Amino acid sequence: MRHLLFLFILVLSMNSFSKGVYQSNDDFLNEVFENKVPKTQTLWLLGEIKKGAKKILGEKPGQLRIRYWKKNQQTSWILEEIGKEKLITVGLVINNNQLNQIKVLAFRESRGWEVKEPFFLEQFFQVKLTSELQLNRTIDGISGATLSVRALKKLARLALFYHMQIMSNQKV
Amino acid sequence: MSKRKHNNRTHKKGRLLPFIIFHRWIGLSSLLLLILVSITGILLNHTEEFSLDEQYINNNWLQKWYGIKMPEQQKIIKLDNDHFAQIGKQIYFNQLRIAEDNAPLRGVYKTNDFNVIILRDSLYLLTFDGDLIEKINSENGLPTPISHAGFSDSKNKQIILEIKKKLYTTKDNFISWSEAKTEIISPLILGKPDNDVKENYRNAYLGNELSLERVILDLHSGRLFGSLGIYLMDFAAIILIMLGLSGTWIWSRRFRKKY
């Protein structure tokens, strides 16, 4: 009986410890750019960019101006998407049109927090975007975290798409 | 057929008859409840396909039944030809719901490019059509809590925010903030709304509080009719179990008799 009670408390505490803010936006950017964070720039979701974002999200993007940070060919993004009911904040780093880093900065849902674990996020390393705006590699899901997994895949596609827009505008 | 065999069959049928009548009547008496549970169950299984959580019921009787009323916190501001409002935790622009935010509204103003709604802990930048450009808060560099907002002069309309007795301003379209060297000379000018606008906001608020999903869910569980409704649905569930058991029992007796 005592063991059962201990197990019950352990499961409850795992749930409450698993959601929250794991890293602030500033700390993430300082980590990525080794404490030399470049000036904040903004990407406006207008015209074709808005259409692409809508295709990825399956609905109109929630806001029209997105902040990013750029150093040489590397861009960094802090994006948010709803898992089931609440926003998941994710930091992403793109280099040479490949996803170099993805990190869950804040998770507010009561379920699906497993998406913050390295065993899941490692699957995104060096993933690219196809011409159909899909990831070029299959990302295995996590049972019980379907919606959170879907949200992270969308954010990875969005960041890769936004990066391509920045880089293609730069070439012109 | 011998007389003994005939008597035996009639006797057995007579023994089954009360169960058949019992089965029939509990089936009929619970039919309406079972239809209700089944239909609402099917609808709830397809909430996303039917967009039940995006449809709202604007019915006075149901709103009263659920105790939905206008919150005490209401602020409606007229600026040029537009209205901005905070009703409860809902933020509106011309009756269009923009966001949920509990923090008190400090003011609104227009730049040459967009509308700005200022709350204690965040700023909302909107296009002139009401599309959200960006929500700015402490996570993306806004100093908070904002106690007052105004302009450094009435001509240039450079926004100044007072935060913890210090003044801040932005020079790059709300991306970064630095301490201001000027004072708040001119406050934000906020107009009062007309009475018909207040009524429109009342409809906009109340008409978006009660989702169809919630009503169907409460119909399914019986909660729509209070605690009595819950027991009624429990009763329907017990009846369904009894129907299954009595039906199986009657069928097994008949099957045994036939073979």
DSSP assignment of A80-132: EEESSSSEEEEEEEEETTEEEEEEEEEE-SSS-GGGGSHHHHGGGTT--B-TT
Q: Do B125 and A24 touch (CB under 8 A)?
A: no
Maximum C-alpha span of chain A: 70
Q: Which domain holds residue A57?
A: 20-171
Q: Is residue A7 part of a domain?
A: no
Report the C-alpha gap between B255 and B259 in whole angstroms.
Answer: 6
ipTM exceeding the 0.90 mark: no
pLDDT category at B119 given cuts 50, 70, 90 is very high
Report the C-alpha gap between B246 and B234 in whole angstroms.
Answer: 18
- Which one, of A165, A160, A158, lies nearest residue A79 by Cα? A158
Q: Is residue A8 part of a domain?
A: no
User: With 90 as the cut, is the pLDDT of residue B236 above it?
Assistant: no
Q: Is residue A49 part of a domain?
A: yes
Provide the shortest C-alpha distance from residue B134 to chain A (in Å): 5
Q: Is residue A10 part of a domain?
A: no
Compute CA distances B175 → B136, B162, B171, whole Å: 8, 17, 8
For residue A38, what is the DSSP state? P
Segment A64-116, tens digit of pLDDT: 999 999 999 999 999 999 988 889 999 999 999 999 999 999 999 888 889 99
Which residues in chain A touch residue B133, judged by CB atoms under 8 angstroms apart? 63-65
For the record, the structure tokens of B2 come out as 């011998």
CB A95 within 8 A of CB A101: no
Q: Is B46 exposed, middle or buried (0-12, 13-18, 19+ CB in 10 A)?
A: exposed
Determine contact: A2 vs chain B, CB below 8 A: no
Q: Is residue A3 part of a domain?
A: no
- Which one, of A11, A43, A8, A26, lies nearest residue A111 by Cα? A11
Best A26, A49, A63 member to test B by mutation, with max B CBs in 10 Å, is A63
Q: Is residue A45 part of a domain?
A: yes
pLDDT category at A172 given cuts 50, 70, 90 is very low
B90: Cβ–Cβ under 8 A, 6 or more apart, which residues? B97, B99, B100, B205, B208
Q: Is residue A96 part of a domain?
A: yes
Best B132, B176, B213 member to test A by mutation, with max A CBs in 10 Å, is B132
Q: Do A64 and B135 touch (CB under 8 A)?
A: no
Provide the shortest C-alpha distance from residue B196 to chain A (in Å): 30
Of the listed ranges B10-24, B72-86, B135-149, the least confidently predicted one is: B10-24
pLDDT score, position B16: 75
First to last CA, chain A: 70
What total number of domains does chain A contain? 1
For residue B146, what is the DSSP state? E
User: With 70 as the cut, is the pLDDT of residue B259 above it?
Assistant: no
- Which one, of B93, B129, B90, lies nearest residue B113 by Cα? B129
Coil, strand or helix at B7:
helix
CB A151 within 8 A of CB A159: no
Q: Is residue A13 part of a domain?
A: no
Report the C-alpha gap between A53 and A48 in whole angstroms.
Answer: 9
Segment B148-165, tens digit of pLDDT: 898 887 666 788 999 999
Q: Do B134 and A65 touch (CB under 8 A)?
A: yes
